Amino acid sequence: MGTSRRQKAESRRAIVDTAARLFRERGIDGVSVAEIMDGAGLTHGGFPRHFANKQELVGEALATALSAQGGEAGLAAFADAYLRPEHRDNPGAGCVYAALGPEASRGSAETRHLLTQTMERQIANFAQTAPGETEQQRRNAAIGGWSTMIGAMILARLSDSTDLSQEILSAARSYLDVEAAPSVKS
Amino acid sequence: MGTSRRQKAESRRAIVDTAARLFRERGIDGVSVAEIMDGAGLTHGGFPRHFANKQELVGEALATALSAQGGEAGLAAFADAYLRPEHRDNPGAGCVYAALGPEASRGSAETRHLLTQTMERQIANFAQTAPGETEQQRRNAAIGGWSTMIGAMILARLSDSTDLSQEILSAARSYLDVEAAPSVKS
DNA sequence: ATTTCAAGATGATGGCTATCATCTAAAATG
DNA sequence: CATTTTAGATGATAGCCATCATCTTGAAAT
């Protein structure tokens, strides 16, 4: 089944994208290599042509998922897009920290390092527009506000009561002083 | 190996306590039945005398872990005890939501229901002492404050930089207006 | 005291998973 | 055009895990 180099690159991208989605949907341990390859339209045997092992794919998939997160947005705009039912109901395209935070903290040193680097950048970015007199105050507001979003998303996904789940998103919005209500209620 | 009824009850408690700790330390999927039985001082074969399957033990272990959480404390006192390096470094005895939230949200309906019930109680409890004119305002403050704690704990555990990890705990404290600094810095 | 019962041990068993070996055919190379 | 290379398929293989079967032994019941 000789395949061109362009197709190999496309296959690789499909594998990484599928993994980035499935890991967030079902957890890293909850997805097998074969399932990822299947989701990418391939069979399990092609895997070693792209990655030495699963851990290597985990690194690539998380890096891809993290780079897709809104890196430029200010705290308020980010929170407005974050605290929505669409985000809650679509973890596969959503926040890595809310979907995989605890599992990643038990993961490899490389994984933790990648997430730490991205955290630093995200906090520094939020601190630029966060309220506060001093840099330290702005960083505190950035960290506190971002933590609120992540915790609220986790609780909202956990709740089996749609009313409570919606209340959690709304409460976090008002707690963070995000003006607009979610466009879609559910 | 005839064993008395008192010993059976003790074995059961040891199994549940070990599971409650190991699940929070390594994730539910990350711990085998045999490891739990070993941690309880037994071999894997005794498991079916106590539980029909692993899922049943998961329910018991989470219920036990949740009931051990400070159910009476006000929001400020809870946050003060929560946002500490000792808690960060000992997930096996700590908050179920910060250790297992995302994994539990992908778990069984029974698991989600248990966690939802406990959430409702925790929020109602926090709302009693949270600031706000109306009940709704107090509930928003309770949900927002609790979410901040959970998100901050997850980020603090994720960070491979001790400085950043400590900054996250401190920032969440100042964000939540908790006066005292953590007694142990690390 | 004798019999019954069951907690927990040892030891399968079947299913799932990551990884490796081999085969194939098409693309790249000259 | 002939040769080499390799993406991806099929097909092992070894390890881990949950669960079940069976045995032993001392407690409970009579």
Q: Quick: pLDDT tens for A46-98.
A: 999 999 999 999 999 999 999 988 778 899 999 999 999 999 999 999 999 99
What pLDDT does residue B170 have? 98
Query: Which of A150, A164, A169, A174 is the mutation pick for testing B, counting most B CBs within 10 A?
Result: A150
Who wins on pLDDT, A147 or B186? Answer: A147
Q: Report the residue of A95, A105, A106, A108 to disrupt the B interface, i.e. the one with the largest count of B CBs within 10 Å.
A: A105
Q: Which of A97, A103, A112 is nearest residue B160 as measured by Cβ atoms? A: A112
pLDDT at A152: 99
Helix (H) or strand (E) holding A143: helix A135-158
Mean pLDDT of chain B: 94
**CA distance linking residue B51 with residue B27, whole number of Å:** 19
- The pLDDT assigned to B186 comes to 44
Contacts of B124 (CB under 8 A, 6+ apart): none
Those nucleotides of strand C lying less than 7 Å from any protein Cβ are 5-12, 16-22, 24-28
Q: Quote the pLDDT of residue B6.
A: 81
Distance A24 CA to D7 C1' (A): 28
The Cα of A37 is separated from the nearest Cα of chain B by a number of Å equal to 22
Q: Which chain A residue is nearest to residue B147, measuring alpha carbons? A: A151
A109 neighbors A161 (Cβ within 8 angstroms): no
Q: Do A147 and B155 touch (CB under 8 A)?
A: yes
Burial class of residue B172 (count of CB atoms within 10 Å of its CB; 0-12, 13-18, 19+): buried
Which tens digit of pLDDT belongs to each residue from B148-174? 999 999 999 999 999 999 999 999 999
Amino acid code (one letter) for B150: I
Residue B146 in tokens: 């609790």
Low-confidence stretches of chain A (pLDDT beneath 70): 1-2, 179-186
pLDDT at B81: 96
State residue B71's pLDDT score: 73
What pLDDT, on the 0 to 100 scale, is given for residue A186? Answer: 44
Which of B120, B144, B158 faces A104 most closely, judged by CB atoms?
Answer: B158
Please report which confidence band the pLDDT of residue B180 belongs to, taking 50, 70 and 90 as the band edges.
low
| B14-43 residues near strand D (Cβ < 7 Å) | 31-35
**In b/e form, how buried is each residue of B70-108, taking b as 16+ CB within 10 angstroms?**
eeebebbebbbebbbbebbeebeebbbbbbbbbbbbbbe
**CB-neighbour burial class of residue B181 (10 A; exposed 0-12, middle 13-18, buried 19+):** middle
For residues A128 and A80, what is the distance between their CA atoms, to the nearest angstrom? 17
Determine the pLDDT at residue A180: 60
Nearest C-alpha neighbor of B172 from the set B149, B155, B156: B149
| Res B185: pLDDT | 45
Dmax over CA atoms of chain B, in Å, equals: 63
**B35-47, pLDDT tens digit by residue?**
999 999 999 999 9
**pLDDT (average), residues B112-135:** 96
- Residue B69's pLDDT is 83
In this complex, the residue with its CA at the shortest distance from the C1' of nucleotide D23 is B1
Residue A42, CB, less than 7 Å from strand D?
Answer: yes
Question: Which protein residue's Cα is closest to nucleotide D5 at C1'?
Answer: A2
Q: Which residue of chain B has the CA closest to A159?
A: B116
| Residues in chain A closer than 8 A to B97 (CB atoms) | 151, 154-155, 158
pTM, 2 dp: 0.95
